[in-house]
Amino acid sequence: MRRIFMVKSPYYTVTKDTKMIVEEDSAYYRSSIIEENQTMKDEKSYSPYKPEQIIDYNCKRYGSTLNGRREVVEEILKSSSKIPIPINPQSGIYFIPTASTRNKNCVWIAYHQIKHYRKSDEQTLVLFHDGTSELIPTTASVFDRQFKRASQVIVHFNRYTLFGHGPKLW
């Protein structure tokens, strides 16, 4: 049975339990949020805000804006398209867009929730640490590139902790 949960606050607060934020094509709901031990077919929370608005709200909670995070990541990657977003770098919360944010099929996936991924026809099957999986509407090569780009950003933000040199960001 499918149950709908409305987000309790005006915006959804991204936590370590958040797996995905998906754009919805509904008259009222603009996003669905999938957390650990949930799938897109199961219980999920809905929000009247678009995924980018939710991500911007959460970036602000942790000291920046979505545009501020984008600027930093664009400089790191020397690219401005489909960039991963460090929502809360201190807690290791980074989200990967699977397509352009203007694309209605864009799914935002939490990097730390991904266990493995593989090709499934012209889509990508993402396996999560909680044992669930989702079929994502993007090719495995695009997803692989996004995953690696997020890895590069994570290393940049944690260079001092990992290697003992570079900027100490916190």
Cβ contact 70:51 at 8 Å: no
Q: What is the pLDDT of residue 166?
A: 66
In sequence order, which residues have a C-beta less than 8 Å from that of residue 40 and are 6 or more positions away?
Answer: 20, 22, 32, 34, 134
The pLDDT value given to residue 44: 85
Task: Give the chain's mean pLDDT.
Answer: 90
Q: Is the pLDDT of residue 137 over 80?
A: yes
Q: Which CA distances in Å does 68 have to 11, 31, 56, 60, 62?
A: 19, 22, 10, 9, 12
Poorest-confidence range of 11-25, 37-51, 112-126, 138-152? 37-51
Please tell me which residue, 27 or 150, carries the higher pLDDT value. 150
The percent of residues above 70 in pLDDT, for the chain, comes to 91
Domain positions in the chain: 4-159
CA distance 163 to 3: 46
Q: What is the pLDDT of residue 159?
A: 82
Q: Is the model's pLDDT at 2 over the cut of 80?
A: no
**Average pLDDT for residues 57-73, to the nearest whole number?**
95
pLDDT at residue 125, rounded to an integer = 98
What's the pLDDT at 39? 84
Is 80 exceeded by the pLDDT of residue 170? Answer: no
Mean pLDDT of 84-106: 94
